[in-house]
Amino acid sequence: MVQPPAQRCVLVTGSTRGIGRGIAERLIADGAVVGLHGRDLDGVKLTATELHPERALPFSADLSDPASAKDLVDRFVQATGRIDGLVNNAGSGRAIPFRALTVDSWQQTFRINLEAAMVASQAAYTLMRKQKRGAIVNIASLSAHGPGKWMGADYAASKAAMVSLTQSLALESARFGIRCNAISPGFVETDMTNDLPDALRGDLGIPLKRMATPADIAGVVAFLLGEDAAYMTGQVLHVDGGMWMNG
């Protein structure tokens, strides 16, 4: 078995706020060098300074153009010399009724939520094959496993496709010592959920009676990237407070 490097180098997309920032913060605390990503370089630099001036490396890219994801991975590797982990967290979505969907809005959601993750994963996988090791974690969603309910059909479909992508890559990459897993969060306390009315919060039906924190998701990401999950690949872990039990 190839031994892990003393200090991991992990790229986390969409990591200036919310779940992504929480993931970056946890990985830095665990000793990793982390590539932070966002659209606005000044904002990414500010986040890097706040988290760790030396081990948080800022990168900007607009992933609404999926081709930019390869350049993002390449720039990260140029800065670090390798890539031990990739977390595809960047995404977008909004609650929209099916009748209001357009082909353009559907394609835009897929470009950011799925195609950019595919391109980034392909670039990282190519490099990880040479290393004979690596781990990829995709942030899917509870919406991937049934009707969107609180999100649009475009969002749910893109996240369902991410689950399929995760398992396809896991099967192909396993013989090279590369693992690929996914996490399906439920509701997470971020700036995107701050405005949820109390009535809706009480109607979510979360068995654990609270939303997740970014740290709840980050802990599972850290596990899947680490050696304690060395024999896990192709898995999709529900980190949703038990919401999956409600169907």
Question: Average pLDDT over the chain, rounded to whole?
Answer: 91
Across 160-175, average pLDDT:
98
- Which domains does the chain possess? 9-246 (3.40.50.720)
CB-facing half-sphere around the CA of 79: CA atoms within 13 A: 19
Which strands make up the sheet holding 178-185, listed edge to edge? 56-60, 33-38, 9-12, 85-88, 134-139, 178-185, 236-239
CA R_g for the chain: 17
* Residue 239 reports pLDDT greater than 80: yes
Work out the burial of residue 113: count CB atoms within 10 Å of its CB; fewer than 13 is exposed, 13-18 middle, 19 or more buried.
buried
Q: Which of 85-99, 147-161, 166-180, 205-219 has the highest mean pLDDT?
A: 166-180
Assess contact for 54 and 27: CB atoms under 8 A: no
Reply yes or no on whether the pLDDT at 185 is more than 90: yes
**In this structure, what token pair is assigned to residue 22?**
């929480």
For residue 125, indicate whether it is catalytic.
no
pLDDT digits (tens, 9 = 90+) for 102-127: 999 999 999 999 999 999 999 999 99
Instruction: Report how far residue 170's alpha carbon sits from residue 134's, in angstroms, rounded to the nearest whole number.
Output: 11
pTM over 0.85: yes
- Marked catalytic residue, from 59, 125, 155, 187: 155
